Amino acid sequence: MSKLTSAVKVLVVDDQPLIVEELCEFLESSGYRCVPCESGQQAVERFRGDGDIGLVLCDLHMPGLDGIQLVQQLQQIAGKHRAFEAIMLTGRADKQDVIKALRAGISDYYQKPIDLDELLEGLQRQEAALQERQKNVQLGHLNQKLQDLSSSIDDLYQDLDKVRRSPAAVSRDSAGAGSDEVDIPDIFHQLSPRQLDVARLVGKGQTNYQIACELGITENTVKLYVSQVLRLTHMHNRTQLALALSPRQVGGQQRVTAH
Protein backbone atom coordinates (compact mmCIF):
# COMPACT_ATOMS: atom_id res chain seq x y z
CA MET A 1 0.00 0.00 0.00
CA SER A 2 1.54 3.30 -1.13
CA LYS A 3 1.66 6.18 1.32
CA LEU A 4 0.76 9.76 0.50
CA THR A 5 3.55 12.28 0.92
CA SER A 6 2.78 15.00 3.44
CA ALA A 7 2.99 18.62 2.27
CA VAL A 8 4.68 19.46 5.58
CA LYS A 9 8.41 18.92 6.02
CA VAL A 10 9.91 17.62 9.26
CA LEU A 11 13.04 19.25 10.64
CA VAL A 12 14.97 16.41 12.35
CA VAL A 13 17.68 17.67 14.72
CA ASP A 14 20.09 15.59 16.80
CA ASP A 15 23.83 15.86 17.40
CA GLN A 16 24.16 12.11 16.75
CA PRO A 17 24.20 11.52 12.96
CA LEU A 18 23.05 7.88 13.25
CA ILE A 19 19.90 8.91 15.10
CA VAL A 20 19.15 11.59 12.50
CA GLU A 21 19.65 9.06 9.71
CA GLU A 22 17.43 6.45 11.37
CA LEU A 23 14.63 8.90 12.10
CA CYS A 24 14.68 10.38 8.60
CA GLU A 25 14.67 6.96 6.97
CA PHE A 26 11.68 5.84 9.05
CA LEU A 27 9.68 9.07 8.57
CA GLU A 28 10.34 9.22 4.84
CA SER A 29 9.11 5.64 4.50
CA SER A 30 5.97 6.82 6.32
CA GLY A 31 5.25 9.64 3.87
CA TYR A 32 7.14 12.60 5.33
CA ARG A 33 9.84 14.73 3.74
CA CYS A 34 12.68 15.31 6.19
CA VAL A 35 15.30 18.01 6.60
CA PRO A 36 18.21 16.44 8.56
CA CYS A 37 20.34 18.60 10.87
CA GLU A 38 23.14 17.73 13.28
CA SER A 39 23.19 21.00 15.26
CA GLY A 40 20.83 23.65 16.49
CA GLN A 41 22.50 26.38 14.44
CA GLN A 42 22.20 24.35 11.25
CA ALA A 43 18.52 23.78 12.07
CA VAL A 44 17.95 27.53 12.47
CA GLU A 45 19.37 28.21 9.00
CA ARG A 46 17.38 25.40 7.38
CA PHE A 47 14.15 26.56 9.04
CA ARG A 48 14.72 30.16 8.00
CA GLY A 49 15.28 29.16 4.37
CA ASP A 50 12.49 26.59 3.95
CA GLY A 51 8.89 27.71 4.49
CA ASP A 52 7.59 24.15 4.04
CA ILE A 53 9.04 23.09 7.39
CA GLY A 54 6.12 22.85 9.80
CA LEU A 55 7.13 20.05 12.18
CA VAL A 56 10.26 20.04 14.33
CA LEU A 57 11.68 16.89 15.91
CA CYS A 58 14.70 17.72 18.03
CA ASP A 59 16.90 16.36 20.79
CA LEU A 60 16.73 18.17 24.12
CA HIS A 61 20.40 17.92 25.11
CA MET A 62 22.72 19.16 22.35
CA PRO A 63 25.96 21.18 22.44
CA GLY A 64 25.54 24.83 21.52
CA LEU A 65 21.82 25.40 21.17
CA ASP A 66 19.85 22.87 23.16
CA GLY A 67 16.39 21.79 22.06
CA ILE A 68 14.51 24.41 24.07
CA GLN A 69 16.77 27.26 22.93
CA LEU A 70 16.42 26.03 19.35
CA VAL A 71 12.61 26.06 19.47
CA GLN A 72 12.63 29.53 21.03
CA GLN A 73 14.78 30.84 18.16
CA LEU A 74 12.48 29.19 15.62
CA GLN A 75 9.52 30.88 17.30
CA GLN A 76 11.22 34.25 16.87
CA ILE A 77 11.81 33.53 13.18
CA ALA A 78 8.24 32.33 12.66
CA GLY A 79 6.65 35.33 14.38
CA LYS A 80 2.89 35.66 13.90
CA HIS A 81 2.92 34.76 10.22
CA ARG A 82 4.21 31.19 10.34
CA ALA A 83 3.12 28.19 12.40
CA PHE A 84 5.00 25.06 13.42
CA GLU A 85 4.76 22.30 16.02
CA ALA A 86 7.73 20.88 17.93
CA ILE A 87 8.34 17.48 19.51
CA MET A 88 11.21 16.96 21.92
CA LEU A 89 13.35 13.83 22.24
CA THR A 90 15.25 13.25 25.46
CA GLY A 91 17.53 10.56 26.81
CA ARG A 92 16.87 11.59 30.42
CA ALA A 93 13.36 11.79 31.84
CA ASP A 94 14.09 14.84 33.99
CA LYS A 95 10.77 16.27 35.15
CA GLN A 96 12.04 19.83 35.32
CA ASP A 97 13.36 19.63 31.74
CA VAL A 98 10.01 18.35 30.52
CA ILE A 99 8.12 21.13 32.33
CA LYS A 100 10.50 23.72 30.92
CA ALA A 101 10.07 22.33 27.41
CA LEU A 102 6.27 22.36 27.60
CA ARG A 103 6.30 25.92 28.95
CA ALA A 104 8.47 26.94 25.99
CA GLY A 105 5.73 25.83 23.60
CA ILE A 106 6.96 22.34 22.74
CA SER A 107 3.88 20.23 22.05
CA ASP A 108 5.06 16.74 23.04
CA TYR A 109 8.12 14.75 24.10
CA TYR A 110 9.42 11.18 23.82
CA GLN A 111 12.12 9.43 25.80
CA LYS A 112 14.93 7.54 24.13
CA PRO A 113 15.08 4.76 23.06
CA ILE A 114 12.12 5.84 20.96
CA ASP A 115 9.21 3.65 19.94
CA LEU A 116 9.00 4.68 16.28
CA ASP A 117 5.34 3.73 15.89
CA GLU A 118 4.39 5.86 18.88
CA LEU A 119 6.50 8.70 17.51
CA LEU A 120 4.73 8.46 14.14
CA GLU A 121 1.33 8.65 15.81
CA GLY A 122 2.45 11.66 17.80
CA LEU A 123 3.81 13.35 14.68
CA GLN A 124 0.52 12.78 12.87
CA ARG A 125 -1.38 14.35 15.77
CA GLN A 126 0.87 17.39 15.66
CA GLU A 127 0.43 17.65 11.90
CA ALA A 128 -3.34 17.81 12.40
CA ALA A 129 -2.86 20.48 15.09
CA LEU A 130 -0.56 22.40 12.73
CA GLN A 131 -3.19 22.43 10.00
CA GLU A 132 -5.66 24.05 12.39
CA ARG A 133 -3.10 26.65 13.45
CA GLN A 134 -2.29 27.44 9.81
CA LYS A 135 -5.99 27.95 9.09
CA ASN A 136 -6.18 30.38 11.99
CA VAL A 137 -3.13 32.28 10.73
CA GLN A 138 -4.65 32.53 7.24
CA LEU A 139 -8.00 33.62 8.65
CA GLY A 140 -6.21 36.28 10.68
CA HIS A 141 -4.56 37.64 7.53
CA LEU A 142 -7.87 37.68 5.65
CA ASN A 143 -9.65 39.40 8.53
CA GLN A 144 -6.99 42.11 8.61
CA LYS A 145 -7.34 42.65 4.85
CA LEU A 146 -11.11 42.90 5.23
CA GLN A 147 -10.72 45.45 8.02
CA ASP A 148 -8.34 47.51 5.89
CA LEU A 149 -10.70 47.33 2.92
CA SER A 150 -13.68 48.27 5.08
CA SER A 151 -11.78 51.25 6.47
CA SER A 152 -10.83 52.35 2.96
CA ILE A 153 -14.41 52.06 1.72
CA ASP A 154 -15.65 54.09 4.71
CA ASP A 155 -13.11 56.79 3.87
CA LEU A 156 -14.22 56.82 0.24
CA TYR A 157 -17.88 57.21 1.20
CA GLN A 158 -17.01 60.03 3.58
CA ASP A 159 -15.07 61.78 0.83
CA LEU A 160 -17.96 61.35 -1.60
CA ASP A 161 -20.39 62.74 0.95
CA LYS A 162 -18.19 65.77 1.56
CA VAL A 163 -17.91 66.41 -2.17
CA ARG A 164 -21.68 66.14 -2.69
CA ARG A 165 -22.38 68.61 0.13
CA SER A 166 -19.67 71.04 -0.91
CA PRO A 167 -20.83 74.17 -2.83
CA ALA A 168 -17.57 74.02 -4.75
CA ALA A 169 -18.58 70.68 -6.19
CA VAL A 170 -21.72 72.17 -7.71
CA SER A 171 -19.95 75.09 -9.32
CA ARG A 172 -16.78 73.27 -10.29
CA ASP A 173 -17.46 72.99 -14.00
CA SER A 174 -18.90 76.49 -14.37
CA ALA A 175 -16.37 78.38 -12.24
CA GLY A 176 -13.18 76.91 -13.62
CA ALA A 177 -11.82 80.24 -14.81
CA GLY A 178 -10.41 81.19 -11.42
CA SER A 179 -9.42 77.73 -10.28
CA ASP A 180 -6.24 75.71 -10.48
CA GLU A 181 -7.75 73.46 -13.14
CA VAL A 182 -6.71 75.85 -15.90
CA ASP A 183 -3.16 75.04 -14.86
CA ILE A 184 -3.38 71.29 -15.38
CA PRO A 185 -3.54 69.18 -18.54
CA ASP A 186 -7.03 68.50 -19.87
CA ILE A 187 -6.77 64.79 -19.18
CA PHE A 188 -6.96 65.51 -15.45
CA HIS A 189 -10.28 67.40 -15.66
CA GLN A 190 -12.21 64.13 -15.50
CA LEU A 191 -10.95 63.43 -11.96
CA SER A 192 -13.01 64.00 -8.84
CA PRO A 193 -11.79 66.69 -6.41
CA ARG A 194 -10.26 64.09 -4.08
CA GLN A 195 -8.63 62.19 -6.94
CA LEU A 196 -7.16 65.48 -8.16
CA ASP A 197 -5.90 66.31 -4.66
CA VAL A 198 -4.10 62.98 -4.52
CA ALA A 199 -2.71 63.42 -8.04
CA ARG A 200 -1.31 66.86 -7.19
CA LEU A 201 0.40 65.53 -4.06
CA VAL A 202 1.87 62.63 -6.04
CA GLY A 203 3.12 65.28 -8.46
CA LYS A 204 4.90 66.96 -5.57
CA GLY A 205 6.72 63.70 -4.84
CA GLN A 206 4.91 62.89 -1.62
CA THR A 207 4.68 59.29 -0.39
CA ASN A 208 1.39 57.52 0.31
CA TYR A 209 1.99 58.05 4.02
CA GLN A 210 2.55 61.80 3.58
CA ILE A 211 -0.55 62.10 1.40
CA ALA A 212 -2.62 60.18 3.93
CA CYS A 213 -1.50 62.52 6.72
CA GLU A 214 -2.20 65.67 4.70
CA LEU A 215 -5.66 64.59 3.54
CA GLY A 216 -6.69 62.83 6.75
CA ILE A 217 -7.31 59.44 5.14
CA THR A 218 -5.65 56.01 5.38
CA GLU A 219 -2.72 54.82 3.28
CA ASN A 220 -4.95 52.11 1.79
CA THR A 221 -7.38 54.77 0.63
CA VAL A 222 -4.51 56.73 -0.93
CA LYS A 223 -3.47 53.57 -2.81
CA LEU A 224 -7.01 53.20 -4.13
CA TYR A 225 -7.08 56.81 -5.31
CA VAL A 226 -3.67 56.54 -6.99
CA SER A 227 -4.81 53.38 -8.78
CA GLN A 228 -7.98 55.16 -9.94
CA VAL A 229 -6.03 58.19 -11.18
CA LEU A 230 -3.58 56.04 -13.15
CA ARG A 231 -6.44 54.08 -14.69
CA LEU A 232 -8.49 57.16 -15.63
CA THR A 233 -5.51 59.03 -17.11
CA HIS A 234 -4.09 55.89 -18.76
CA MET A 235 -0.72 56.48 -17.18
CA HIS A 236 1.58 53.63 -16.28
CA ASN A 237 3.12 54.67 -12.97
CA ARG A 238 3.57 57.41 -10.37
CA THR A 239 6.64 58.80 -12.12
CA GLN A 240 4.69 59.47 -15.31
CA LEU A 241 1.92 61.04 -13.25
CA ALA A 242 4.36 63.27 -11.40
CA LEU A 243 6.01 64.39 -14.64
CA ALA A 244 2.64 65.26 -16.15
CA LEU A 245 1.92 67.56 -13.19
CA SER A 246 5.42 68.99 -12.83
CA PRO A 247 5.80 72.82 -13.08
CA ARG A 248 7.70 72.49 -16.36
CA GLN A 249 4.94 70.49 -18.01
CA VAL A 250 2.12 72.62 -16.61
CA GLY A 251 3.84 75.97 -17.06
CA GLY A 252 4.73 75.17 -20.65
CA GLN A 253 1.17 73.95 -21.31
CA GLN A 254 2.53 70.81 -22.93
CA ARG A 255 -0.17 68.49 -24.14
CA VAL A 256 -0.56 65.27 -22.12
CA THR A 257 -2.29 62.47 -23.91
CA ALA A 258 -3.29 58.96 -22.90
CA HIS A 259 -1.17 56.08 -24.11
Arithmetic mean of pLDDT over the chain = 82
Specify the pLDDT at position 6.
85
Specify the pLDDT at position 247.
60
Which pLDDT tens digit goes with each residue over 166-178?
Answer: 655 445 444 444 4
- Looking at the structure, tell me whether residues 200 and 119 fall in a common domain: no
Which residues, 6+ apart, have CB-to-CB distance to 39 below 8 Å? 13, 15, 62, 63, 64, 65
DSSP string over 200-214: HHHHTT--HHHHHHH
Taking the C-alpha atoms of residue 218 and residue 208, their distance in angstroms, rounded to an integer, is 9
Number of domains in the chain: 2
- CATH number of the domain encompassing residue 91: 3.40.50.2300
In a domain, 147, yes or no: no
Which residues, 6+ apart, have CB-to-CB distance to 116 below 8 Å? 26
161 — pLDDT class (breaks 50, 70, 90): low
In a domain, 159, yes or no: no
Which pLDDT tens digit goes with each residue over 1-25?
Answer: 345 678 899 999 999 999 999 999 9
Give me the phi and psi of 19, to 5 degrees please: -65, -45
Query: By residue range, what is the domain housing residue 53?
Result: 9-140
Pure H helices in 60-110:
67-78, 95-103
32 — pLDDT class (breaks 50, 70, 90): very high
- Looking at the structure, tell me whether residues 130 and 188 fall in a common domain: no
Assess contact for 33 and 5: CB atoms under 8 A.
yes
Give me the phi and psi of 57, to 5 degrees please: -120, 110
- Looking at the structure, tell me whether residues 64 and 120 fall in a common domain: yes
- CATH number of the domain encompassing residue 215: 1.10.10.10
Taking the C-alpha atoms of residue 257 and residue 14, their distance in angstroms, rounded to an integer, is 66
In a domain, 145, yes or no: no
- Looking at the structure, tell me whether residues 72 and 192 fall in a common domain: no
- Looking at the structure, tell me whether residues 125 and 34 fall in a common domain: yes
In a domain, 154, yes or no: no
